[in-house]
Amino acid sequence: MKKGYHHGNLRQALVDAALELIAAQGPNGFTLSEAAKTADVTPAAVYRHFAGREDLIAEVARQGFDIFAALMEFAYSNGQPSPLAAFEATGRAYLAFARKYPGHYMAMFESGLNLAAHPQVGEVAMRAKAVQDRAAAGLAAQLPEGRRPPAAMFSAHVWAMSHGVVELFMRGQNRSPFPPEDLLETGIGIYLRGLGLLSPDK
């Protein structure tokens, strides 16, 4: 009998195996058989817990979004000590998550996972997005109503900026003389100054 059967939680052992393979080969670069081999179980054992490869990746992504949402909540800290500080902290949390959890990040954002087919993943993903939206709404509220962008648009701009920095300069082949954190912070600063939320000398 393979030692994998002695795992207290075979399902999680398979998720951990997938994370190892995703980090090494990308979210689309491994097979279920490879995941079973890495977890030291038979391929048939995988199907006791996952309907197929996408189902396994969906669980990796679900766990990733759960960690991500908790990290974002911690960074946001209920909008303290100020809306600006809380907003900037959520941007830094995005980069910190991508750096510390590369396998989860790739499963979440690079696997081509169909969230409609995995509603449980979509639900926890929305929880993470809601934190960014709250941070954006809190900061946008500092602007006069006539000059206030929709919070969802505000949030989407910064999410796109954060994602772009991760993809291009943290995980991609492009190199920058500046750390990813500095690129994001200065980019957000330019954006916020354009909105009038930061003075020109900040």
Any idea what the CATH number is for the domain that residue 111 is in?
1.10.357.10
Using CA atoms, how far apart are residues 68 and 10, in angstroms rounded to an integer? 24
Same domain, 120 and 164: yes
* Nearest alpha-carbon partner for 103 in 41, 24, 177, 38: 24
pLDDT at residue number 200: 61
At 137, list the tokens. Answer: 């709404």
Total domains in the fold of the chain: 2
pLDDT at residue number 3: 44
Any idea what the CATH number is for the domain that residue 34 is in?
1.10.10
Q: What is the CA radius of gyration of the chain?
A: 20
- The answer to whether position 202 is within a domain reads no
For the chain (202 residues), the mean pLDDT of every run of 10, in chain order, is: 54 93 89 90 86 92 96 93 88 92 93 88 92 89 82 88 88 80 89 77 54
Residue pair 132/90 in contact (Cβ under 8 Å)? The answer is yes
Same domain, 75 and 162: yes
CB neighbour list of residue 137: distance below 8 Å, 6 or more residues apart:
151, 154, 155
pLDDT at residue number 195: 81
CB neighbour list of residue 173: distance below 8 Å, 6 or more residues apart:
none
Using CA atoms, how far apart are residues 72 and 202, in angstroms rounded to an integer? 24
Instruction: Give the pTM.
Output: 0.86
Residue span of the structural domain in which 21 resides: 1-50
